[in-house]
Amino acid sequence: MSSLSSSARYPWILIGLLWLVAFLNAADRSIIIAVMPSLRDEFGLSNTSLALLNSLFFWIYAIAAFVAGRMGDSIRRTQIVIYGLIFWSVATGLTGLSTGFAMLLACRGLVALGEATYYPTATALISDWHQPRWRSRALSLHQTGVFAGAGLGAFFAGFLADKFSWHTPFIVFAVIGVVHAVILMKLLRDPEVKSAPVKRSEPLGIVLRNRPAVMLCVVFFLATGASTGVTVWAPTYVHDALKLDLAGSALIGSATINIAGFLTVPFGGWLADTIARRTAIGRFYTLAIGLGLAALLLLPLASVTTAAGVGIVLVLTSFGKGIFDGCIYAAMHDVVPAHARATAVGAMTMIGFFGASVTPFLVAWASESFGMAAGMTSLAGLYVVAVVIILAMRPAIARAVAANSAEH
C-alpha cells in the first residue's frame, strides 16, 4: 500500500523536483541582466555589446530548443533534464570566471545551449506522468517556477553582486544547479512503458502534418511576440515618460508582470482543465479567453498617465496572458501523440522566440511616430489575430483531439 501511495504521489513530487529546475532555468538567464552595469564598467563595454550578449542567447536558445525537442522524443527525458541542468550550471559558473567580453559571449552561448534542452523535454515528461484531466494544472504549477526565477533570480543576483561582486551570483547559482542535478539523479524517473514497442511515425512529420499543432506554433509566435514587446519596453517607458528611477521603473514595468504571471498561471491551468471536462477542446477555448482578455486589458495603456495606472494595466493584461500560459503546453499535448510531444513543444518554442525577436523593433519603430505607449498598445492586435485563428480552427482542433484521445 505504501508503495502504491508513493507511486500515486510521484507525479506531484515530480512537479516539485522540476519546479526548482524551471526556477534555475529562468534565474540563470536573468543574472546577467542584473549585473550588466558592473560588466559594462569592468570590461568597458558599450550598450551595443551588452545587447549582443542578450541577442546571442536568444537566437541560440530558439534554434537549440527545436533540436532539444527532437532529442526529447528519442532519448530518455530524465537524462536530458539532468545533464542539461549540469551543462548550463557549469556554463553559468564559467560566466562568473570570465576575464573579457569574448569569454562572456562564449559562456552566454553555452548557457543558452544548455537551457534550451529543458522546456520541451520537461513539459513532455510532466504530461507523461499526468492524466489529461490534471495536465493543465500540473504544467501550470511548473510554469510558476519560471516567473519566480525571473523575478527572484534577478533580485538575488543583484543582492549578491552588491554584497560581494558581480562574479558571486554566477558561482552561487551554478553550485545550486549542480547539487540539484545530483538529487535528481536519485529521484527523477521516467514512467514505465506498459505496452510493447510499436513502429511509430517520425515525430517532426507528425507535427508538420498536424494543422492544429502548426496553428499553435503560429499562435505562440503572435502571443509571445506581443507579450515580449510589452515586457522589453515597459520599464524604459515608465522611466522616460513617468520620470521614475531605475528601481521604481523595474518595479512598475517588470515586477508587476512577473507577479501577475506567477499568480495567474495556476488559475489558467485550473480553468483549462475545468472547461476541458465539458468540451474536448476546452483548453483551446481557454487560450482564446486568455488572449482576448490580454488584448482588451492592454488597450488603456495608451491613455494612463500615472505610475499606478501603468502598473494596474500591466497586471491586468498579464492576467490574461497568464491564463494562456497556464494551458498552452497542455493544449499542444492534446493534439500530438506522446512520442512527439517534445518535438512539438521544441518547434513551438523556436517559433515563439522568433516572434519575440521582431516585436521589440516594431514597438521602437512605432514609438518614433506615435509614442512608446501607443507602440506597446498596438500589440493588442497580435493577441486579437491569435484569438481569431484559434476560433476559426475549432473543427480541425476537435478532430485532432479526438484522434489523439483514441490513440491513447
pLDDT 10s digits, 22-56: 999 988 887 887 777 788 888 888 766 776 777 78
Contact in structure between 352 and 221 (CB atoms under 8 Å): yes
Residue 295's pLDDT is 97
Q: Within a 10 A sphere around the Cβ of 163, how many other Cβ atoms?
A: 9
Contact in structure between 121 and 72 (CB atoms under 8 Å): yes
Residue 408's pLDDT is 55
Residue 247's pLDDT is 59
Residue 194's pLDDT is 55
Cα separation, 305 vs 16, whole angstroms: 41
Query: What global pTM score does this model have?
Result: 0.79
The closest of 229, 360, 211 to 294, measured between CA atoms, is 229
CA angle 263, 119, 97 (to 5 degrees): 100
Residue 299's pLDDT is 95
Contact in structure between 354 and 62 (CB atoms under 8 Å): yes
From 3.40.50.1390, 3.30.470.20, 1.10.10.10, 1.20.1250.20, which CATH number describes the 201-408 domain? Answer: 1.20.1250.20
Sign of the alpha-carbon torsion through 147, 148, 151, 154 = negative
The closest of 190, 155, 387, 394 to 292, measured between CA atoms, is 387
Contact in structure between 19 and 138 (CB atoms under 8 Å): no
Query: Position 319: which residue type?
Result: F
| Cα dihedral 387→390→393→397 (10° resolution) | -160
Those residues of the chain that have pLDDT short of 70 are 1-7, 47-48, 51, 193-201, 245-251, 253, 406-408
List of residues 6+ apart from 359 with CB closer than 8 A: 225, 226, 228, 229, 232, 379, 382
> Coil, strand, or helix at residue 306?
coil
Instruction: State the span(s) of the chain assigned CATH 1.20.1250.20.
Output: 1-189, 201-408
Q: What top-level class would CATH report for the domain 1-189?
A: mainly alpha
Burial grade of 3 (CB within 10 A; 0-12, 13-18, 19 or more): exposed
pLDDT digit string, tens, across residues 303-342: 888 888 988 999 999 999 999 998 898 899 899 988 888 8
Contact in structure between 248 and 262 (CB atoms under 8 Å): no
